[in-house]
Amino acid sequence: MSDDKQPTFTLINNQTGEESILPVVEGTYGPHCIDVRKLYSQTGYFTFDPSFTATGSCKSKITYIDGDEGILLHRGYNIKELAVKSTYMEVCHLLLHGELPNEAELKEFSGHITNHTMVHEQVKSVYQGFRRDAHPMAIMCGVVGTMAAFYHDSLDIWDPEQRRISAHRLIAKMPTMAAMALKYSKGQPYVYPRNDLTYAENFLHMCFSVPAEEYKLRPPVVRAMERILILHADHEQNASTSTVRLAGSSQANPMACIASGITSLWGPAHGGANQSVLEMLDEIGDKKNIPEFIKRAKDKEDPFRLMGFGHRVYKNFDPRAEIMRESCHEVLEELGINDPQLELAMELEKIALEDPYFIDRKLFPNVDFYSGIILKAMGFPVEMFTVLFAVSRTAGWISQWKEMMEEKSLRIGRPRQLYTGEAERPYVEVSKRK
């Protein structure tokens, strides 16, 4: 019998009357979990939760989302404070090490990252293999994976020092490789990183400087880039982070794991939504067409979805979307840009949030709804939007990977299934098949 103080769930098989007592595990916040690790050995049954709507895949101290209240915390700090008061380097340190750095720690951490921003010169030859019109996410899937072919001295996943160097290399080199993907698509020469610039400044410099003219760093744009990097850094066990953890559970090296995260993020249901939002706004074109698209979004026969709306966890405003919307106004105003797509987006948001279909399903704008408008104003082509998401999320991915690697017992993730295929049947020679 279980200890009365220990919360448990008792499962009763209504056909046999058999009882199974399962322990409940509790966290700091959020739903408690029924620990089903012994369910199969006790009952011979699996749980069934195909898209993990009610499954906790791990314990984590990094990020917490309260979907009903629209709250996002990184190591206990509210995203609304981090986005306004911190730099991305501070948030990277927070995600990786659990604390905001003091001045000395920030200087040392930023220095490590700065010293790893260049890539091996032969990485350039990897880019040469792609078509100039390749989607930059396709390029990133490739080149990030090839980092394992260049940085052999930091692939031992059991060595904490090599894990640390790999984490720094990945955070540091993602902007360089992303900028190289942009330059490659434009047929422009690559721009080397500069050690005198901040992370956000360096990324803008590598993306937009040309040999003939240095990119002029404008404070509103730099601030917006810093904020976008912070807002996309981590988000609990989303699809791409879960992909990174599953890849890491097989003891794959961190470069390969991050490459797997990039592939998962690319999907329009996930990180690819920021590109899809802009394409959707282009398709809507004018406020007068909004009702037709709202109708399509509600039509189950129509695959069209309102991109940038809805979320598995948030059943309230995504706090990142609120911050992004504020930044949209700031950046466009400071740059003197009057983008009709912002007006269109705001009208679409207003109409959708008054529609019972969206209200009943608690569908609100998510982080992707406004980000593309800012990125477009900053000069990024729409194909680069998800690449920027990947640059930022690398900090979260590698922090979650590090957390998993530091657990006492790393076990390979290996879900089971409900088999609904054919029962065993006799083999039929090809000459006898109908």
- Pick the closer one to ligand SDX by CB: 186 or 350: 350
Per CB under 6 A, contacts with ligand SDX among 368-397 are: 368
Q: Which helix (H) or strand (E) holds 24?
A: strand 19-25
Query: How far is residue 314's CA from residue 138's CA, in Å, rounded to a whole number?
Result: 29
Binding-site string for ligand SDX from residue 210 to residue 249, where x marks contact by CB under 6 A and - marks none = -------------------------x--x-----------
* Tokens at 300, concatenated: 């189950």
User: Least distance in Å: CB of 266 to ligand SDX?
Assistant: 11
The distance of closest approach from Cβ of residue 271 to ligand SDX in the complex, given in angstroms and rounded to an integer, is 6
The answer to whether residue 345 forms part of the interface with ligand SDX (CB under 6 A) is no
The CB density around residue 297, as the number of other CB atoms within 10 Å, is 21
* Set 97, 112, 270, 329: catalytic member: 270
The end-to-end CA distance of the chain, in Å, is: 58
Q: Does 367 bind ligand SDX (CB under 6 A)?
A: yes
DSSP per residue, 37-70: TTHHHHHS-----TT-TT------SSEEEETTTT
φ/ψ of residue 143, rounded to 5: -70, -30
Number of residues that bind ligand SDX (CB under 6 A): 21
In 10 A of CB 196, how many CB atoms? 8
By C-beta, is 191 or 313 nearer to ligand SDX?
A: 313
- With 0-12 / 13-18 / 19 or more C-beta atoms within 10 angstroms meaning exposed / middle / buried, residue 128 is exposed
Instruction: Choose the stretch contacting ligand SDX; rule: CB under 6 A; options: 14-22, 25-33, 270-278, 330-338.
Output: 270-278
Among 93, 169, 311, 402, binds ligand SDX (CB under 6 A): 311
Question: What are all long-range contacts of 161-166, with beta carbons under 8 Å and residues at least 24 apart?
Answer: 163/254, 163/402, 163/405, 166/253, 166/254, 166/255, 166/398
Q: Does 32 bind ligand SDX (CB under 6 A)?
A: no
310 is an interface residue for ligand SDX by CB under 6 A: yes
* 296 lies in the site for ligand SDX, by CB under 6 A: no
What single-letter amino acid sits at 24?
A: V
Member of 366, 386, 392, 394 binding ligand SDX (CB under 6 A): 366
**Active-site residue 168, yes or no?**
no
Instruction: Among 22, 177, 178, 297, indicate the residue that binds ligand SDX (CB under 6 A).
Output: 297
Q: Which of 72, 174, 273, 375 binds ligand SDX (CB under 6 A)?
A: 273
CA distance 155 to 96: 18
Nearer to ligand SDX, 147 or 390 (CB): 390
**Nearest 5 degrees, angle CA 244-CA 249-CA 251?**
100
**Which position among 120, 194, 218, 270 is part of the footprint of ligand SDX (CB under 6 A)?**
270
Question: Cα separation of 141 and 126, whole Å?
Answer: 12
Catalytic-residue membership of 368:
yes
User: Is 308 among the residues that bind ligand SDX (CB under 6 A)?
Assistant: yes
Identify whether 152 is a catalytic site residue: no
Annotated catalytic sites, by residue?
270, 311, 368
Residues that bind ligand SDX in the complex, under the rule CB under 6 A? 235, 238, 269-271, 273, 297, 305-313, 361, 363, 366-368
